[in-house]
Chain A
Amino acid sequence: MNRPAAATRGYMRPMQGWWRRDPFFVRYMAREATALAVLCYSVILAVGVVRLAQGEAAWNAWLQALRSPFAVLLHVVLLGAMVIHAQSWFEIMPKTMPAMFIRGKRVAQSTIMRVGWAAAGVSTVLLVAIAWWLK
């Protein structure tokens, strides 16, 4: 009995379009797809760093480009995608972590999720505050 599991007897149903079969799978695919938005924004920031290294004129041109209506629209879309990405990762986070125990009691999954959101909220506020202060 050394044949692989795939070769066992019986009728195998096709997997085509599997991710559309259940809303849960659609949400999973949304989590995976919105990673591209994270990639996209990291490219935008990396370009900014390169432009900064190229001197004042290049930096100002990059800042100017970010003010175009297309760039603003892109930022709104990317922000939306990032919120979906964060939300879906916080949802799965308790399942991806080793069990945590505080005073012998297991920390509830909902607590881990809330701590995640709190950390995201606090760091966002801090970042905006620092940006405001530097302005």
Chain B
Amino acid sequence: MPNSRHIEIQVLRYRPEQESEPVWQSYDVEFTDDMSVLQGLQHIKDDLDGSLSFRWSCRMAICGSCGMMINDKPHLSCQTFLRDLMPGPVRIEALAHLPIERDLVVSVDGFVKKLEGIKPYIIPKEPRTLEQGEYLQTPAQLERFEQYASCINCMLCYAACPQFGLDPDFTGPGVLALLHRYNADSRDGGRDERMQIVNAEEGVWSCTAVGYCSEVCPKHVDPANAVNQNKVNSAKDYFLRLLTPKGVSQ
């Protein structure tokens, strides 16, 4: 490779059939200035050690597959460049707080189950027929939820959330931000169903406003803001339920 340099990449390996707990393994990687950490790992897999496992897909910070801890901070590996990590060594491990299945691959079962639970789709407030046309929305109404719609499910916020690390049942920043994305949508009428998840002990009240989730989010979703706005909504919901016999959440 012309104009190439070398950097040491240390990877936390875990092969359940081989090790009872993860071990560090070091690789000497030749790289050029345009190479991301993901490309460094691909070089290792293709040319140095085919047994290394990691997830990736789009290489352009859209798919949310390649999140990992790079020098102890959650990053998308496609968006992090080796040239910025000189002189190294670069320490890479699977996303913190999540169970490691193999090497840099974490189990996403818990996350997906929680995501399904919030009904992450618009439940129309008023059903409309095709003849009635589309649901209209003003730019101001769009702005209420647009940033939360940018979530790519990369789970970096879960690796940044110590409350999730201490209690894996906590719904967590990413899923609660998406929940807010639908609750804040003027076309949606599913708020009542979702408020039960917000109000639960594993809902917004498990958050202690550490705020690191918003710092590491590669899409500027600001999940901490979504979660904390819903503490207000949850408190309102609680008191309104006391005041109204049947209970409403608006």
The verdict on B68 contacting chain A, using a C-beta distance below 8 Å, is no
| 1/0 contact string of A91-109 vs chain B (CB within 8 Å) | 1101111110100101000
Interface-facing stretch out of B30-38, B42-50, B221-229: B221-229
Closest Cβ–Cβ distance, residue B96 to chain A (whole Å): 7
| 1/0 contact string of B136-148 vs chain A (CB within 8 Å) | 0001100110000
Q: Which residues on the B side are within 8 Å of A21 (C-beta)?
A: 72
Closest Cβ–Cβ distance, residue B180 to chain A (whole Å): 10
Question: Which residue in B110, B209, B210 is a CB contact (below 8 Å) of A5?
Answer: B110
State whether A95 and B225 are in contact (beta carbons under 8 Å apart), knowing that A5-B114, A11-B16, A15-B165 are contacts in the complex. Answer: yes
Please tell me if the beta carbons of A5 and B109 are within 8 angstroms of each other in the complex: yes
Please tell me if the beta carbons of A10 and B101 are within 8 angstroms of each other in the complex: yes
Closest Cβ–Cβ distance, residue A93 to chain B (whole Å): 10
Closest Cβ–Cβ distance, residue A30 to chain B (whole Å): 12
State whether A24 and B215 are in contact (beta carbons under 8 Å apart), knowing that A6-B169, A9-B101, A95-B222 are contacts in the complex. Answer: yes
Closest Cβ–Cβ distance, residue B173 to chain A (whole Å): 11
Question: Which residue in A10, A11, A97, A106 is a CB contact (below 8 Å) of B228?
Answer: A97
Question: Which residue in B14, B72, B73 is a CB contact (below 8 Å) of A11?
Answer: B14
Question: Which residue in B100, B114, B168, B231 is a CB contact (below 8 Å) of A6?
Answer: B168
Please tell me if the beta carbons of A12 and B232 are within 8 angstroms of each other in the complex: no
Query: Which residue of chain A has its CB nearest to the CB of B228?
Result: A96
Q: Which residues on the B side are within 8 Å of A12 (C-beta)?
A: 99
Please tell me if the beta carbons of B168 and A106 are within 8 angstroms of each other in the complex: no
| 1/0 contact string of A1-32 vs chain B (CB within 8 Å) | 10011101111110100110110110010001
Please tell me if the beta carbons of A99 and B212 are within 8 angstroms of each other in the complex: no
Q: Which residues on the B side are within 8 Å of A94 (C-beta)?
A: 225
Tell me the bound Cα distance from A1 to B109 in angstroms.
10
Closest Cβ–Cβ distance, residue B161 to chain A (whole Å): 11
Closest Cβ–Cβ distance, residue B242 to chain A (whole Å): 21
Q: Which residues on the A side are within 8 Å of B131 (C-beta)?
A: none
Question: Which residue in A10, A13, A19 is a CB contact (below 8 Å) of B162?
Answer: A19
Please tell me if the beta carbons of A22 and B143 are within 8 angstroms of each other in the complex: no
The verdict on B134 contacting chain A, using a C-beta distance below 8 Å, is no
Closest Cβ–Cβ distance, residue B68 to chain A (whole Å): 13
Tell me the bound Cα distance from A72 to B107 in angstroms.
55
Tell me the bound Cα distance from A95 to B207 in angstroms.
12
Q: Which residues on the B side are within 8 Å of A4 (C-beta)?
A: 168-169
Q: Which residues on the B side are within 8 Å of A13 (C-beta)?
A: 22, 96-97, 100
Tell me the bound Cα distance from A7 to B20 in angstroms.
17
Tell me the bound Cα distance from A101 to B208 in angstroms.
25
Between-chain CB contacts (< 8 Å), 9 pairs: A5-B114, A6-B110, A8-B110, A13-B97, A32-B208, A95-B222, A96-B228, A98-B232, A101-B140
A-B contacts besides A91-B211, A95-B222, A99-B229, 20 pairs, CB < 8 Å: A4-B169, A5-B169, A9-B109, A10-B107, A13-B22, A13-B97, A15-B97, A15-B162, A22-B72, A24-B210, A24-B212, A28-B210, A28-B211, A92-B209, A92-B224, A94-B225, A95-B224, A96-B228, A97-B228, A98-B229
Q: Name A's B-contacting residues (CB within 8 A).
A: 1, 4-6, 8-13, 15, 18-19, 21-22, 24-25, 28, 32, 91-92, 94-99, 101, 104, 106
